[in-house]
A = this chain, B = another copy of it.
């Protein structure tokens, strides 16, 4: 947020499309944003309006400012999804993309000049306002304590790094609901080992590369576990399709060929072989674990070695190992066996015991429908409502930009189903999953780790269907806590009311 004590000059006001604050140099195209970010510069992307081609630039920018579009415009929807500050529909500005400036009345703001956005109020400021990290102290701290007295729903966070975990813990997160291990794979010093694994011709070759990854993954887990000591940490095993880790631009392929001594032609052939028509519905999630068990085995080993080492230091660790994209109980049965076998080995080797659990995401309609069968091999369920929305609606989030804004504008859909949970469709599948799962395991722990976990309306729904916790991005933890308390109070007042009238 902008330091409340700062003196800033407000030059325009638009819609508060995505909260938070951002400071950066003005850029007028997505390409410029990406180029500047590559050089380590902080920029604000200013556009007449954004379109799907701007995604890369939006991601690279600190914040986004658009002249046109409402609260459900492309810029607004995407920015909220990214957790990025955005002021949309700021009609007072006039964007000249070609000559690289924008105007507000007589004021001309050129590329490279600093501006500041306040996504919570919609204000646009000239210059660099000082930003401060909002803290949960004073009145706010007292208020949040009251909130916690009333809520029943636990609130966790989605965090892949120790930094995010720390932020979330400060905001009151009671554990990690989703730690995505693949983000760790992308770091420059690791990606080469990941690529070596993908390019290997056989299991032996893959294992050799995985040995290099093991200590890196382990050290990540040690850091995260330390920050989260005493609290549960749900770690999801590798999820995305392998081709996401290979380079695709000609120059990157050549660079990789040079560094790995794998011929360019072979690299291209491998890329081609891994290409998919519908990667979202392809060789990913537990399908990777089933076909290349050595990958998941390495990940489980890294988790358990980290846990055992900290446990020996008397640090309390609660690892929850989560298998993604289960569609059939047999997948989970196999992956659970692999996990338990590996975890047992590690514990034996360290001569220590760490209690851990193995669970799965419910993120495919078939998993929700067969949640009773799957429950036999799961200690917990986490509803992956991003993918559940994509599959049950038959709607690719990456492609929906071409028609979803029109759908919302015309009232065909009331809300963007990726922002606010679609209770009538996706919600019913969740309910089926909860009921079927708890029919088999009465007290099975269940949560949500889709982005809906930070949306107040969706949090209320999660409360109603009896989830144990929601998990959301670190900065949304306080709002999720508040929404959870409001849900409890709402329920209570309804009950009181019905008692009175009866």
Contacts and interface: CB of A to CB of B under 8 A. Distances in A.
A370 interface: yes
Interface in A361-382: 363-366, 369-370, 373
A144 B114 CA distance: 81
A373 B424 contact: yes
A145 interface: no
Contacts of A407: 290
Interface in A254-303: 276-283, 287, 290-291
A402 interface: yes
Contact of A364 (B281, B330, B392, B412): B392
A465 interface: no
A411 interface: yes
A82 interface: no
A440 interface: no
A347 interface: no
A40 interface: no
Interface in A386-423: 387, 390-396, 398-400, 402-403, 406-407, 410-413, 422
A334 interface: yes
A412 B365 contact: no
A399 B364 contact: no
B283 A281 contact: no
Contacts of A334: 412
B412 A330 contact: yes
Contact of A399 (B281, B331, B391, B396): B281
Nearest to A389: B366
A393 B406 contact: no
B398 A277 contact: yes
B366 A325 contact: no
A168 interface: no
How many of these chains are in the complex? 2
Contacts of A81: none
Interface string A123-136: 00000000000000
Nearest to A285: B394
A106 B271 CA distance: 40
A396 B330 contact: no
Contact of A392 (B276, B287, B369): B369
B327 A394 contact: yes
A38 to B, nearest CB: 23
A443 B472 CA distance: 45
Contact of A278 (B399, B403, B426): B399
A425 interface: yes
Given A328-B413, A392-B364, A394-B387, A424 B370 contact: yes
A142 interface: no
Contact of A396 (B277, B365, B390, B422): B277
Nearest to A326: B394
B281 A426 contact: no
A398 B275 CA distance: 11
Given A325-B394, A392-B366, A331 B412 contact: yes
A428 B363 CA distance: 17
Contacts of A363: 394
A429 interface: yes
A366 B399 contact: no
Contacts of A287: 403
Given A391-B392, A396-B281, A290 B364 contact: no
A275 to B, nearest CB: 9
Contacts of A411: 330
A411 B290 CA distance: 12
A363 B370 CA distance: 18
A280 B400 CA distance: 12
B402 A327 contact: no
Contacts of A428: 369-370
14 contacts: A276-B396, A277-B280, A278-B398, A280-B281, A291-B403, A330-B411, A364-B393, A365-B392, A366-B392, A366-B393, A369-B425, A387-B394, A391-B394, A392-B392
A-B CB proximity, top 3 nearest: A281-B396, A278-B396, A365-B365
Given A277-B398, A281-B391, A365-B425, 4 more contacts: A277-B280, A278-B398, A281-B395, A366-B394
Interface of A: 276-283, 287, 290-291, 325, 327-328, 330-331, 334, 363-366, 369-370, 373, 387, 390-396, 398-400, 402-403, 406-407, 410-413, 422, 424-426, 428-429
